[in-house]
Structure formats: C-alpha cells, structure tokens
Amino acid sequence: LSTDERGRIAVNDHLQTAVPHIYAIGDVVRGAMLAHKAEEEGVAVAETLAGQKPHIDYNLVPNIVYTWPEVAGVGRTEAQLKEEGRAYKVGSFPMRALGRARASMDIDGMVKILADAQTDEVLGVHMVAARAADLIMEAVVAMEFRASAEDIARICHGHPTYTEAIKEAALDATGKRAIHA
C-alpha cells in the first residue's frame, strides 16, 4: 500500500488502494476523521463490490463537534466561498432569540446559512447550538436536494422547536425577514 504526505493510505475515487481488491475507508484515508463518513465509505465499497456505481458527495458530510454547545456544519464556509470568488448571501439567527432555547436555558450559539447570491441555493450551513448534531441534518437534506434558502424559509416548522432557528436563518438570508430576531 502507498501513503500520502500525511501518512494516510492513498485511494482512488472508489476507495481502492494501489493493491487490487484492497479498499480503505475512514480515518486511514483522506478527509475528515468522522465515524459517519467512514460508514458512508464502507457502504460505497460494499456497493462497488456488488457491481454498483456508488457516489459520496463529501460536501454533504456534516462536520460535528460534540462539545457544549455542539458545533456542526455542512457545505461551504465563508472562507471557501471568498476564495472561490463566489457571490453569496448570509442569513443568521441567534439562539438567544429562540423560544425553545430560552425555555430550555440553552441560549448560547447561532445558526448561519450561506446561499448563492443569484440562485439562492444553500451552499453551507453552520451552527453552534444545543442539539446542533441533530439540527444539521435538516441542512444536509435540504442541500442534497439543492434547496434554496427560500425553500427552507417556506417550510412550516413546529413551535417551539430548535429547528425554528434554521427557518429563521433562512428568512434572514432571503431579505432579512426573520420573525423573532
């Protein structure tokens, strides 16, 4: 097996090593060291071995840090969008303005949505909040289906819930329309 400059096992786009019929996944290959990324890679290898043509969109693998409050993000960051020269808009919402967070005394943090300036397609969602590891999954699903910030803003979210912060950030991204800001 060969390794890259950081000592990780080198693999191709199908997670195959330089040795035929040997695949590598998870922490020993390029990318984030996340259990859920490794799980997706394991499924992809199994599908490859079964003759299928799997694909993993690494842009949609959520990054999660289990601190308190939790930190989570998916997609592009502002730094990446600036580096790419891509025009984008930002919507954010502070957890302290969210009824459920106030009732639970978990008011630290915020949700930020980054959307394409022209198409409104959601390019990234980042948050620091209680339950961010769970909340980020709404963003992953939205991005999988190439939703716009307006699409998220128009979804009826239960009240009071933590997920309302995502809707509020989407409303903020689409004309600074957040209801509870």
Closest by Cα among 117, 75, 98, 81 to 161: 98
Number of neighbours of residue 10 by Cβ within 10 angstroms:
15
| Helix, coil or strand: residue 26 | helix
Whether 36 is catalytic is: no
In the set 55, 126, 157, 159, the catalytic residue is 159
d(CA 83, CA 13): 25
**What are the structure tokens assigned to 135, written together?**
């909340």
**Alpha-carbon span 82 to 89, nearest angstrom:** 11
Task: Give me the DSSP letters along 50-104.
Answer: TT------GGGS-EEE-SSSEEEEEE--HHHHHHHT--EEEEEEEGGG-HHHHHH
CB atoms under 10 Å from CB of 105, counted, come to 8
Which residues are known to be catalytic?
A: 159
